[in-house]
Structure formats: structure tokens, C-alpha cells
């Protein structure tokens, strides 16, 4: 069986707390849709996260 992967870019220019909440909401939504969280990476220079999911 072949897995499907997606990479989701999440950004917030104003605060790390707002970024954290956006990532949390994305993880909860993806999980409820049956996606498995593979990786979460944060970019050091910007308030940006890359979330990799698989199904």
C-alpha cells in the first residue's frame, strides 16, 4: 500500500504563540481526518513551521 504525504507551511508574522496555536489547530484537524503526523520543523529566522503528514 502506498502512502500519501503532504507538507503544510504555517506562518505567523506577529508572534510565536499565534504560530503555536495555528500548528496545534492544524495537527488536531489533520489527526481527526486520519492523517499521521510525521515531522514538525520550525524555521529559526521566521515564525514559520513545516508540518509533514502521511495517510
Q: Domain range spanning residue 11? A: 5-54
What does the alpha-carbon distance between residue 39 and residue 10 come to, in Å, rounded to a whole number? 13
Structural domain count of the chain: 1
Per-residue pLDDT of 7-44, as tens digits, reads: 999 998 888 899 999 999 999 999 999 999 999 999 87
Q: How many CB atoms lie within 10 A of CB 10?
A: 18
pTM: 0.83
In three-state form (DSSP H/G/I as H, E/B as E, the rest C), the secondary structure along the chain is CCCCEEEEEEECCCCHHHHHHHHHHHHHHHHHCCCEEEEEEEECCCCEEEEEEEC
Amino acid at each position: 500500500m502506498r502512502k500519501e504525504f503532504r507538507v503544510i507551511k504555517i506562518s505567523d508574522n506577529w508572534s510565536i504563540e499565534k504560530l503555536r496555536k495555528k500548528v496545534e489547530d492544524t495537527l488536531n484537524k489533520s489527526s481527526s481526518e486520519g492523517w499521521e503526523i510525521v515531522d514538525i520543523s520550525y524555521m529559526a529566522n521566521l515564525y514559520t513551521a513545516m508540518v509533514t503528514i502521511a495517510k
